[in-house]
Amino acid sequence: MPTPIDFNRLDIRWRHYECHCGSGDDAYEVLDSRGIYLALGCPQCLTDRLSGFREDVLYGPTYVADEPIEPEADNDNVAWGMDV
């Protein structure tokens, strides 16, 4: 059985729209312990979506990654992969 998600320890950012699942609940953006985007959804959706992540990715900023993690670009459009 997976470990329950501790929402109090996550970096969660509220968004000004409803979740796409149809629940009518507010949507939240969740970042990992290093500030990297993981998922978007209401608490019900996020429980399912975040259950696949390792605990250290969710809560430990020194987790081991098998690929380089680059700092975010200064320009928001570049960070989202848009041409400027």
Cβ atoms of residues 13 and 29 within 8 Å? yes
**What pLDDT is attached to residue 84?**
44
Alpha carbons 55 and 61: distance in angstroms, whole number: 11
The structural domain count of the chain equals 1
Domain that holds residue 47: 8-79
84 within domain boundaries: no
39 within domain boundaries: yes
Q: What DSSP designation does 59 have? A: H
What's the pTM value of the predicted model, to 2 decimals?
A: 0.64
**What pLDDT is attached to residue 3?**
65
38 within domain boundaries: yes
Model pLDDT for residues 28-47, shown as the tens digit of each residue: 899 888 888 888 999 888 88
Model pLDDT for residues 12-29, shown as the tens digit of each residue: 888 778 898 989 999 989
Alpha carbons within 13 angstroms on the beta-carbon side of residue 42 total 11
The secondary structure element, H or E, covering residue 76 is helix 76-79
Model pLDDT for residues 45-72, shown as the tens digit of each residue: 888 888 888 888 888 888 887 777 666 5
